Amino acid sequence: MSGRPDDDDLEELRRKKMEQLQEQAQQQESGEAQEAAQQQAEAQKQALLRQYLTDDARKRLNTVKMSKPQFGEQVERQVVALAQSGRLQGKIDDEKMKQLLNELKPEKKSFDIRRR
């Protein structure tokens, strides 16, 4: 033997490399599709918020999201759920948004420390 891989080995290496490249392309496509679905869901959520919130209420919600992103997301999900279930009559104005934020605000934990 001369130390060169024969044609069958080369063909096997090529086939494996091709399968690997195809698998990578499929993973990339599924990642892109997932990202596109997330962007579409976000766009739908923003459209619902524009439809059901006044400008002042939306500004208040955006301010909350900047300081407390998780809480802001929770409030957005709640508004979207209310809108989709048909439980919203009219738009949510600034006063209603304040009430909603107060209702959804997490309870503050208080600690009573006593010295002995």
Domains of the chain with bracketed CATH: 13-98 (1.10.8.140)
Give residue 90's pLDDT band: very low, low, confident or very high (50, 70, 90).
confident
Reported confidence tier of residue 5, pLDDT bands at 50, 70, 90? low
User: pTM higher than 0.85 for the full model?
Assistant: no
Dist CA 31 CA 37 (whole Å)? 10
Q: What is the pLDDT of residue 63?
A: 92
pLDDT higher than threshold 50 for residue 30: yes
Q: How many other β-carbons are positioned within 10 Å of the β-carbon of residue 46? A: 13
Is residue 70 very low, low, confident or very high in pLDDT (cuts 50, 70, 90)?
Answer: very high
